Amino acid sequence: MIGTSEHYPAAQQDSSSHSGVSWAAIFAGAAAAASLSLLLIMLGAGLGFSAVSPWAGEGIGAKGLGLTAIVWLALTQIIASGMGGYLAGRLRVKWSNMHGDEVYFRDTAHGFLSWAVATLVTATLIAGSISSVIGSGVQASANVASGAVTAASSAAGAHAKNGSSESSDYFIDTLFRDDRGTAVSEDAAHGIVTRIFVRSLSNDGQLSTEDRSYLAQIVAQRTNLTQPEAEQRVDQVYTKAHQAIEDAKVKAKQAADTAAKVAAWTTLWMFITLLLGAFFASLCATFGGRRRDAVTYLDRPITPSVDR
């Protein structure tokens, strides 16, 4: 039972004159804490994946999953660090003829050191995986936002091949503008419209009067619309394209803001859970040290029995 004394043969050497740090006990506690932490993290990941469903209305939500992950990380730190600290305190050498306050301090230090070593080992092992997951999430958000912008531009007919060549092609097109819209092929007309839309949307978002009239001319000659009707269609399509671009920009900013908040809260809660681990490792080390000190040694040596 905890708190009772156990009697063993007397120690061969007084350890009070040795170093106050029992590195063997610290590394033993750290190894146990790191292994147990890895096991609990794997278990939590498995339970989390089993609770998530790709179907709408099924499985745990994102908010619930986040709260559960925070609680699980806290429990992981408490259990694993507490176990490592207890082993570090229990396995250290017994300090004889030493004041109780010094023993308490050394036990606390042993628990903290075992937590520190275990944290460094665990961080080294899983840092690559965490970075990969976070990087994949950020990259996915960026790809979604970029895809939205590209889709909006394509829907408006404003997909650019590259910035410098597209701008040069736009000014070259202006050199050959005339009233013979029917003389321009369909592919050439699409290219001209694309370059005009791209330049207008990427600059100030305003379609110049000359570009508007020229686009209306091309539309009118290919749709049998009057010039005013073609200008009205150009205005409608360009307004939709401009609105789609603005909506995509807003969504991209919202996604970036959400990602920043998630990263900030994740880092904050990881900091809190690590503090909990350090506290419980130090606390449990004092329990292990007291249990270790409860063991008393006999002064008389044990004589082996001789068979007669």
121-130, 131-140, 174-183 — most confident range: 121-130
pLDDT at residue 5, rounded to an integer: 47
Q: What is the pLDDT of residue 168?
A: 61
For the cut 50, the answer to whether the pLDDT of residue 39 exceeds it is yes
Span 128-132, mean pLDDT?
A: 59
Q: Where are the domains of the chain?
A: 6-145+273-298, 155-250
pLDDT in tens, 169-199: 665 565 555 555 545 667 777 777 777 777 7
Rounded distance, CA 18 to CA 50, Å? 52
Alpha carbon dihedral 148, 153, 155, 156, in 10-degree steps, equals 150
Q: Residue 229: which pLDDT band, with cuts at 50, 70 and 90?
A: confident
The DSSP code sequence of the chain is -TT--EEEEPPSS-GGGS-S--HHHHHHHHHHHHHHHHHHHHHHHHHHHHH--SSTT-S--HHHHHHHHHHHHHHHHHHHHHHHHHHHHHHSPP--S--HHHHHHHHHHHHHHHHHHHHHHHHHHHHHHHHHHHHHHHHHHHHHHHHHHHHHHHHTT---S-HHHHHHHHHHHHHT--S-GGGS-HHHHHHHHHHHHHHHHHTTS---HHHHHHHHHHHHHHH---HHHHHHHHHHHHHHHHHHHHHHHHHHHHHHHHHHHHHHHHHHHHHHHHHHHHHHHHHHHHHHHHHHHTEEEESSPPPPP---
For residues 74 and 270, what is the distance between their CA atoms, to the nearest angstrom? 8
Residue 215 has pLDDT above 60, yes or no: yes
Both tokens assigned to 27: 């590394």
Mean pLDDT of 89-112: 83
For residue 156, count CB atoms less than 10 angstroms from its CB and return exposed for 0-12, middle for 13-18, buried for 19 or more.
buried
Cβ atoms of 81 and 33 within 8 Å: the answer is yes
Angle between helices 227-293 and 23-51 (to 10 degrees): 140
Which of 40-49, 66-75, 121-130, 209-218 has the weakest average pLDDT?
Answer: 121-130
For the range 48-51, what are the long-range contacts, defined as Cβ-Cβ under 8 Å and sequence gap of 24 or more? 48/72
Count of other CB atoms within 10 angstroms of residue 93:
17
- Convert the pLDDT of each residue in 264-283 to its tens digit: 888 888 899 999 999 999 99
| Total residue length of the chain | 308
Q: Write the pLDDT tens digit of every residue in 22-32.
A: 888 899 999 99
**In the predicted model, what is the mean pLDDT of the chain?**
74
Find residue 26's DSSP bridge partners.
Answer: none
Predicted pLDDT at 1: 40
pLDDT at 134 over 80: no
Radius of gyration of the chain (CA): 36
* pTM for the model: 0.59
